[in-house]
Amino acid sequence: MAGKVALLLWGAQTTQLLVEPPWTPPVLWDRVTLTCQGSGTAGAITWYKDGQRWWEEGPDQFRVTESGTYQCDRPGTGRSPPVNVSNDRLVLQVPARALLEGDTVTLRCRGWQDKPVTWVSFYREEKQLQRFRDGTELSLSPLRLHHSGRYRCRGGVHSEVSGRWKESESAPVSVTVRGVPLSGVSVSVQPPGAQVALGDRLVLSCAVATGTGPLSFSWHRGDSWALLGTGPHLELRHVGDNDSGHYQCRASNGDSVAESVPLNVTVLVPVANATISPGALAQPVSTGDPVTLRCSVQVGSAPVTFTWLRNGTEVARGPLLELGDVHVGHSGTYQCLATNQLGQDGHRVFRALSPELALTVTPRRHWDTVAVNIGRSLLFLVLLLGVIGGCHWWQRLVARKPQDRSPQPLSLSVPPRVSPGPAPPRHPQVTNAQLPGPYEGQQDPGATYESVM
């Protein structure tokens, strides 16, 4: 609102009084207008004068016609700070705004209804600052925190009644100089890059781009606001692997608080205790045997780089060394070199060399080779027979599944009952009587049989 300034206390309350013209204290002869502002529920306002309920269901704004101390109360937001409208013979006025360090402020000593004032003296905490014969204003520029205090003025005011100059003294006025609100809080680190090795020294520094006043600092890490230290610097003399995390600085000048962007600190653990597995190979290793070596470290922060050496010369990289079916040329002394480093530029590199592993490859004899080939062929044959047998078993299983899904009903067959009939005839015994004939042993076709029962 143009031409109006809130009479705000630092850390202002919800309901405030705006005064026009913007001076404190306002004087009655300036035709002062008070406006009640707040973020509470809109509705009728209650006005107070000299601590007493003065106007219920009043307007948001009105023009003051009587001197006194005024307050307003908005529904839901409470009562405003008081504003004293003066009608004294001599008044010292200060701009009704927040006074920040570095600003320029003018204090003015005014006579009642702007009557002439002669020889004005200004005081701070009962100590005379300056005396003017003709001037009535005191300039403080630039403002410093030590300018805060209680000010008053004394001067000669012309009296229309007696026609004489009468010495008068103003009521004291409080001047509070605040530091400029803080902004641009940042954290720097030594060594640069926010990456250190285990046991190194780390120093974090907090700086404020803008803001004045006595500064205080506090340090925190991660989501926990547990206090790590105070002061503009935080020193970790011997960092541990638990000191990694996001560090943040909070600065305050008593009136405002600002925080830095979190800085990520990484503590790197150097590699150590590199080993090769298997640690011992069956002796001797014959040509054609598959050999694979693995390198690992007991401690060390990722990323870790592995380099394989044979007889001191680099032959491969990576945690695995796959030699495949070895031959005599693979014989030698093998070692693994593990490394990790600080920063992208690798200004500090840490190394760990494994113990030596001797590999001796001997040529395989002819019959050993034949035996190996036969063994491989037999293994292949067994696997093939297993596959064929599995296929047959699967087909039989598939063929049986429909019957399993549709079982046949169970029937019981009973043979028919046979009634007894006549017994079968007996076969008679027949005895042939040899009859005499022309040929001995020849039977006569007309021979007769005697049946003997």
Give the integer Cα–Cα distance in Å for 177 and 145: 5
Average the pLDDT over 339-359 and give the result: 87
Quickly state the pLDDT bin for 39 (edges 50, 70, 90). confident
Same fold flag, 184-267 and 272-362: yes
Alpha helices in 299-365 (DSSP H): none
Q: Kindly report, residue by residue over 47-63, the tens digit of the pLDDT.
A: 999 999 999 888 888 99
CATH class of 1-86: mainly beta
Q: Which helix (H) or strand (E) holds 291?
A: strand 290-299
pLDDT value at position 195? Answer: 87
Tokens of 442: 């020849």
Average the pLDDT over 371-388 and give the result: 79
CATH number for the domain running over 184-267: 2.60.40.10
Q: Kindly report, residue by residue over 66-113, the tens digit of the pLDDT.
A: 999 999 998 878 889 999 999 999 999 999 998 988 899 999 999 999
Q: Tell me: pLDDT of 371 over 70.
A: no
Nearest in space to 90 (alpha carbons), one of 19, 27, 14: 27
Tokens of 193: 């890059």
Give the integer Cα–Cα distance in Å for 140 and 129: 11
Domain assignments of the chain as residue spans, ordered by start: 1-86, 88-178, 184-267, 272-362
- Cβ(350)–Cβ(340) below 8 Å: yes
Fold classified for 272-362:
Immunoglobulin-like (2.60.40)
Place of tokens 């491989």: 376
b/e 352-373 (16+ beta carbons within 10 angstroms → b): bebeebebebeeeeeeeeeeee
Q: Tell me: pLDDT of 6 over 60.
A: no
pTM higher than the cut 0.75: no
User: What is the torsion angle, in degrees rounded to the nearest 10, for the CA atoms of residue 39, residue 4, residue 144 and residue 208?
Assistant: 50
Q: Which of 166-180, 273-287, 398-412 has the highest mean pLDDT?
A: 166-180
- Cβ(306)–Cβ(337) below 8 Å: yes
CATH number for the domain running over 88-178: 2.60.40.10
Q: Which helix (H) or strand (E) holds 388?
A: helix 366-405
pLDDT value at position 446? Answer: 37
User: What is the torsion angle, in degrees rounded to the nearest 10, for the CA atoms of residue 92, residue 96, residue 101 and residue 102?
Assistant: -80
Residue 284 preceded by cis peptide, ω within 30:
yes
Mean pLDDT of the chain: 81
